[in-house]
Structure 1
C-alpha cells in the first residue's frame, strides 16, 4: 500500500525551516502526520514538524501576527454567515430607499453580491480604480451592485470589520525586511491577489516534480446511465476493500448530484441499508451541512414550534418528520395508536402547510397523553421566547427548548449521531459572533439565523483510515491512493463551461481573467488537475454516463471514451440475504367459500377497478393502502365536485318535480340557487370539521365565496337545461342507499338521482363535471360500470344517463329510448352498435348482457384474479404505478402508450 503522501519532492526544504502551504486542511494534516512518522522512524525522541498549513489559514495567521505587532489596525474578520447577513441588511435598506426597485429573493442576491465582491478583489480588482468603476454604469444590475458595494465597504470601515479579501489587501502594505521560504505543495491554482500577497511576504518555491503536466487524454469507460456507472464503481470499490488491495478512492466531479446514487449503491454492496446503516466503511470527504443531518434538522423544527407566534406553520412533510423523529419526545413509542392516528390526520389534510394551532388541536384530540401534546401545551403559555435579544442572550433559551423536547431523544446514540451531538456547543458559539452584525433579534429571527450558521458548518464523520474514500475533485490533490476512479468525466464537467457572473460587468471579468469566465484558463486548470492526479496516484480510472435525462452526453475533451471492461450485470441481492419464500400452487377448485355470498365491502368502485385493471382492484380493496393526497392550493377537485353534487341535491330536495321547476319565476329560481349553493358550502365545512379541519381557514373566505359564484352559475345553466326536457318527471330519490347482490358479492350503491317518468319508468342519473363517454358503459370490460350497476337495481329502470354539468352548458349522455332528456333520440340498437360485437336489440337484452359481464367481474375479484392487465387510459390516474411497474415493461404496445400509459408515472 502506498504512503498517504509522497515527501520526496519536499525533503530539500525540510531542513531549511520552510513553511509548507497546501490547498486544503486535509493535505496539511496528512503531510504533518507523514513528517512526524518519518522523524520517529529516524530515532528522534522529540518530533518537530515544520509549519504545514493551508494557504488561507497561514495568511490569516500572518495577518493576526501583524495586527498584534501593531503593523496593521485591529479589525474583526467576518465569517461567511456574518458577511452574508451584512449584505442582506444593505440590500434591504437600499430597496426601501429605491421606490422603483425590488427583489423577489434578496437572500439569493446577498449570496451573489458576496461572491461577486470576493472574486472582484481576489482576481486583482480594485474598487478605487475609476476605470473599473466606470464599467458598472452601463448595466442597471451592475450599477445597483456598485451602489451596494460602496455601502458595504463604508460599513466595514465604520465598524472595523474586514473580509478575507480585505485582510489580504492590507498585508500588501506591510513592510517585509526578510522573506521566509514558502513551499507550495500541490497548489494548482491561486487567485492573483493570493499569489501577490504570498510573493510580497515570502520567497515562493514550487518543487520541479510538481510542475510537470501530461496532455495525454485519460482512458474513460462509457456507461449507458448514471445508475449503471454508480453500480460499477460501487462494485469495484467493494471488491478492492474486501480483498484488501490497497487504498481506494472515488472522485465525484459533481459531488452533490452524484453522491446520492453512489452512496445507495455502496450501501447495497456493503449491506448497510438496514440495521448496519452506520457501519458503512466509506468516508465522504465533503460531508453535509449540519442543518441537513437528521438530528439538527429535527432540533430546528422543534425550535420553530417554540416561536411565540400562533401563526407559525410547518410544511406537512416537516410535521410528519417531527412526529416520526427519534430525537424528540424522549424515546416515546412512535408507533403508539394515538401518534399513528395523529400522523394519519395530518397526512389527510389537503393543506401544504399546517400551523402550530392546528397541530396542537389535532394532538389534543388524537394523542392527548403524548409528550408532543404536553410540549405544545407548555410552549403555548411559555413567555421565554418573547421579545428581542442579542443572539448570545438567546443561547440558554435554545437549550431550554431542546431540553423540553428531550432532544437528542435517545440515551444510546450511535457513532454518527454522537459525533453530530458533539457539534452542539460549537454550533451555538456561531451565534455569539453575530451580535455585532444583527443586533437584537426575535426568537423566530434567531432560529433562521442559526439555521444559516448550521448550513455553513459541514459535518464530516470520522471513519476508519482503511475506509473507501469519496472525494471532491480538489480534495484528493496531493494525496497518494493505490487506485482512483474519477466519476462523471463528461463534457461540461471537467473543464466546466465558462460562465459570466452576475453583478460584475462582462468586460471587467474578461480584463481581470476571472477563471469562471475564461475557457482557456478553465481548460488549463483541468489539465493541471488531471496531471496532478496521474502523478501522485497509482491506477487512475475514469468513467461517464453517455445518456442523462434522456439526452446523449459526450465525454470530456480530456477523455478518451472506451467501452467498459465488463458489462454491468443486472443487480442481484447479496449472497447472505435470505431468498424469497417459494410460491405455492393453489387449486382454485378446492377453495371452500363459507356461505354463498362474501361481502367484501365497497361499492361500484370494486367492479370498476376489476374491469379497468384486476391488479388495481386486488391491491385497492384487499390490501387497502392509503393514498397520500397531494397538497393543493384552494379546494381539491373532490371538494369542488362535492359542492356541485350537494347543491344539486338541495335544489331537487326543494323542487321535487318538473312542474315545480316550470312554475317558478326567475327571481324564485335565483333565490333557490343562492340558498342551495350556500348550503352546499356549509355542508363542505361541516364535513371538514368532522375531520378536525377548518376549511375556511385553509383556503380562505374569498375562495369559498368564489366557489359559491361558480356553482351558482353551473346550477343556473343546469336548471335552464332541465326545463327543456320533454314530458314530466318526478325526482324519486337522491343518494339513497341500495344493496345489489352480484355473483359472490353484495355491493352498496348510492345513485345520485333516480327520476320517475309519466309512464312509471325510471331513469338513473349520475352527475359529472368532467368529460363523459357512452362507450365507458359498454364492451366486455366496461370502463365505468357504475351506471350499468345502477340499471340492475330494479326492473323499472329503463334508462341511465350522465348529467354533465359544466361551464359551457349542460347535457345528458344516456342509454335508453323515449326518455325525454332534451336531445334527439335514436333507437337503442343504434346507440350501442358501434361499441358491441353482438347486436343488442332491446333494453332487456342490454341489462342481461350487463349482468352477465358484471357478475363475471365480481367472481373474478372473489377468486383473486389480479393480473396486471390495464385497459387503455386506466393507468393515467392510477396511484399504483410504482407497485405494478407496468409502464416500465419493455413490451408495451403503441396502443397502450397512446392510451395514456406513458403518463402514468
Structure 2
C-alpha cells in the first residue's frame, strides 16, 4: 500500500508541475491493486468528495459485463423465475437502486428482508418472496409473471430476449434517474448483447426458460465491458496494455524479484518437453525471463523516463528488487503517508472534548404501551444498559442468520411443543415410570411428529421435508434421554404447562410464559424452563442478576420452592438452578442462607433493573462491544 501511495503522490505532483506530459502507472496485478491505487489517486487529486467525477486519470481495466452491478441485478431478477437465489443476493437485489419497483430504503423492503432472515433459509425463490410480502408491488409483479404461460414453453432466443425485456420493464428496470455515464454504457452493451443472442435462433433452436437464461449468463460472462472515458494525461495500465505506448514518464510497480519475471506456469495438459521445445508461453523460467526482458526493453525505448519500484517488505517478508532493474539508479523513498498515519496525526494534533451522557429520556405512558420483550429486556439491562435501550426502545436488532436446515428458533419451538404434548399425556412421574420401553418411544415419536406438523405453513423451512425428518430423529433421541433423567427424580405432578402470566414491575409491562411447573409430594412447586444449549446457575446468584428470567417466573407461582433451567443438551442433560432443599441433582441451596432471603434479593434486583430501564439509564459499562 505504501508503494501505491507513493506512486499516486508522484503522479499528482508531476501532473501539476508538467501539464503537457503524458504519464503512466503500470500495475502487474491490475485486478488486485487498481482499487487501492484509485483511492490514493483520488486523495492526491482531491476527488473524493463533490469532485469525484473530475479525476484526470484513465484506467484501462475492463470488466466482464455479467459482473457489473447493473447487469448482475437484471440476471438475478430473471433467475428468480426458475431458480432459488442465495439470501445475500436476494438482499442485494431488494436494495438495488436499479429497480423502480423496490425502494431500497422503504419500510416495506426492510420488513421483507427481516421476514426472509427470520425464516432462516439460505436461499429463496420467487414464491417465497410473494409469500413474505404478499401486498407489495413486487409480489404483484412476481405473481403475474409466475402464472404467465410463456415461461413454461420453449422459444427461440430472439423471443426470449423480447420476453426478458418485458419482464424487466414491469420491474421498472433500469431506473433511469439512478444511472451514471458508465452504467448507461453498460445498459447499451446489455441491449447489444440481447441483439446478438437473438441472432442465434438457427443455431440454438427453441429452448426452455432455464436453458435460455443460462445461455444469456454465459454470453454476459464472456463479454468485456470497457468503459469509454475521456482522454486523460495520467494512465493506469497493465503490463501488456502499456507495452509499446509512448509516455514522457512511466512508473512500473511491484518490480520484486519474486514477481518479475513471473514464475513459470506450464500447461498441465500438454507434455512439458513439447511446451519447452516450441517455446510456448509460461513453459519455463528461461521463457519468462526472455518475455520480461523484451517488455522492459520496449519500455526503455518508448518512454523518456522509466521508474520502477518495489516494496522492501511484502506480507511481512523482506523483498529484493528484480534483476531486470539492476541497471536503474537506486533511490530510497520515504514511505508515503497512509490513511492510518494521517488519522493518527490528526487525532494527536486535535483537542478532544469528551461528554459522557448515558441518560436517555424516561419511558412515558405512550411508549410503555408499545414495549415488547419480556424477560429479555431485564436480561440485557443487567448485562449492558445501552444494548437494552438500543434493542427495545430504539427497536434495532441484528437480522437472523440463515441456516441450511431448520432455524434455531424453529427447532426450539418444536422442542417446547413436543414436551408440552408429552407431559399432557403423562401428567406425572408415576405415569412416566409405568410407560417405559416401546410405548414411551411411540409416545415421543407421535408428539414430536405433531409438533413438527404445527410449524407455520409459510417459509421454505416449513416445506423442507428432509430437514423435518432429520429433526424428528434427533428429537426422539434427545427427549428420550431427557425423560430417563426425569424418571430418576422423586415423585412429582406436572401442574402447569406453558402458563402465561402478565404483570407490571416498576411500570414495565411484562408478559411471560412459564414452560412448566411441577408440584412435589409436599405440595411445594418447582419451576422449570427448557433450554437446548449449555446452562449454569451462576447467573442466578451474586450481586448482579444476569439471568432474571427464572426469578420473574416466581410471579406465577405462590408456592414455588425452587426454579431451574432444564438443559436438553446431548451428553450434558441436567437441571441447573436454586431451590429450598429439593434434593434434585443440579438444584443447589440458596447462597443467601434461606429461600425467603433469596427470593427477597431477587425481587430487589429485579426492581432495580426495571426501574433503571424505565428511567432511561443506558450506560455502556459492562458492554462487550
TM norm. shorter chain > 0.5 = yes
Equivalent residue for 1:799, pick from 562, 570, 585: 562
In structure 2, relative to structure 1, the CA distance for the partners of 1:797 and 1:488 (3 Å cut) is: farther
1:378-457 matches, cutoff 5 A:
378=145, 380-383=147-150, 386-389=153-156, 391=157, 394-410=160-176, 413-431=179-197, 438=204, 440-457=206-223
Alpha-carbon offset, residue 721 of structure 1: 1.6
Instruction: Map residues 206-221 of structure 1 onto 2, 5 A cutoff.
Output: none
Aligned residue among 240, 250, 259 for 2:25: 250
**For residues 752-901 of structure 1, what are the structure 2 equivalents within 5 Å?**
752-790=515-553, 796-808=559-571, 810-821=573-584, 823=585, 828-829=590-591, 840-861=592-613, 862-867=615-620, 869-870=622-623, 884=625
Match of 1:466 in 2: 232
2:482 to 718, 732, 740: 718
Q: Secondary structure at the match of 1:751?
A: strand
Per-residue deviation, residues 360-397 of structure 1 (Å, max 9, x unmatched): 4445x131xx26623650453242772153x4565444
Q: CA deviation at 1:817?
A: 3.9
- For the pair 1:616 / 2:387, whether they are aligned, the reply is yes
The structure 2 residue matched to 1:294, chosen from 41, 54, 69, is: 69
1:634 to partner: Cα distance: 1.4
SS at match of 2:529: strand
TM-score (norm 2): 0.83
Partner Cα distance (2:201, 2:232) in 1: 43
CA distance in 1, matches of 2:27, 2:89: 30
The 3-state SS of whatever aligns with 2:116 is helix
Aligned pair in 2 of structure 1 residues 524, 846: CA closer, same or farther (>3 Å)?
farther
Q: Is the 8 A contact 1:717 1:809 kept in 2?
A: no
* Higher relative contact order (Cα pairs below 8 Å, separated by 6+ residues): 2
Decide whether the 8 Å contact of 2:444 with 2:479 is kept in 1: yes
1:707 aligns with: 471
Q: Equivalent residue for 1:373?
A: 140
Write the distance in 2 (CA, Å) between the matches of 1:553 and 1:402: 53
* CA distance in 2: counterparts of 1:825 and 1:412, whole angstroms: 63
Q: Which runs of 5+ in 1 are unaligned?
A: 1-225, 830-839, 872-883, 885-905
Asked if residue 540 in structure 1 is aligned to residue 307 in structure 2, the reply is yes
Deviation at residue 280 of structure 1 after TM alignment: 4.8
1:41 corresponds to: none
**Given that residues 414 and 452 in structure 2 are in contact (C-alpha distance below 8 angstroms), is that contact kept between their aligned partners in structure 1?**
yes
For residue 647 of structure 1, report the CA deviation from its aligned partner.
Answer: 0.9
1:561–1:373: structure 2 CA closer, same or farther, 3 Å change rule? farther
1 CA distance for matches of 2:605 and 2:4? Answer: 50
What is the aligned counterpart of 2:125 among 355, 358, 361?
A: 355
Is the CA contact (8 Å cut-off) linking 1:430 and 1:453 kept in structure 2? no
Distance 1:375 1:730 in 2: 50
Equivalent pairs, count: 610
Distance in 2 between the 1:266 and 1:318 partners? 31
Q: Relative to structure 1, is the Cα distance of residues 865 and 406 closer, same or farther in structure 2, using a 3 angstrom cutoff?
A: closer
Residues 3-47 of structure 1 show CA distances to partners (whole Å, capped at 9, x for unaligned) of xxxxxxxxxxxxxxxxxxxxxxxxxxxxxxxxxxxxxxxxxxxxx
Please state how far the C-alpha of 1:772 moved relative to its aligned partner.
Answer: 2.0
Stretch deviating more after TM superposition (704-713 or 436-445):
436-445
Normalised to the residue count of structure 1, the TM-score between the two structures is 0.59
The answer on whether the counterparts of 2:412 and 2:532 sit within 8 Å (CA) in structure 1 is: yes
**Could you tell me which of 88, 92, 101 is aligned with 1:317?**
88
Helix, strand or coil for the counterpart of 1:493? Answer: coil
Deviation at 1:725, TM superposition (A): 0.3
The reply to whether residue 673 of structure 1 matches residue 444 of structure 2 is: yes
Structure 1 residues 614 and 342: CA distance shift in structure 2, 3 A: closer
Q: Is the 8 A contact 2:154 2:208 kept in 1?
A: yes
Is contact 1:755-1:763 (8 Å) kept? yes
1:605 equivalent in structure 2:
376
Is 2:251–2:309's contact at 8 Å kept on the other side of the alignment? yes
Per mean C-alpha deviation after superposition, the further-off stretch among 252-261 and 277-286 is 277-286
Q: What SS does structure 2 have at the residue aligned with 1:673?
A: helix
Report Cα offsets for 1:694-713 as digits up to 9, x if no partner: 4343x3x1221221122122
Deviates more, 1:672-681 or 1:532-541: 532-541
Q: Which has the larger radius of gyration?
A: 1
Cα RMSD, aligned residues only: 4.0
SS of residue matched to 2:240: coil
2:319 maps to which residue? 554
Distance 1:262 1:646, change over 3 A: farther
1:183 aligned partner: none
**CA pair 787-567 structure 1, distance change in 2 beyond 3 A:** same
Q: How does 1:12-31 map to 2 (within 5 A)?
A: none
C-alpha contact (below 8 Å) 1:235/1:269 kept by paired residues? yes
Distance in 2 (alpha carbons) for counterparts of 1:540 and 1:719: 77
The answer to whether the Cα contact below 8 Å between 2:28 and 2:238 also exists between their aligned partners in 1 is yes
Q: What SS does the aligned partner of 2:577 have?
A: strand
Report the counterpart of residue 655 of structure 1 in structure 2. Answer: 426
- Unpaired runs of at least 5, structure 2: none
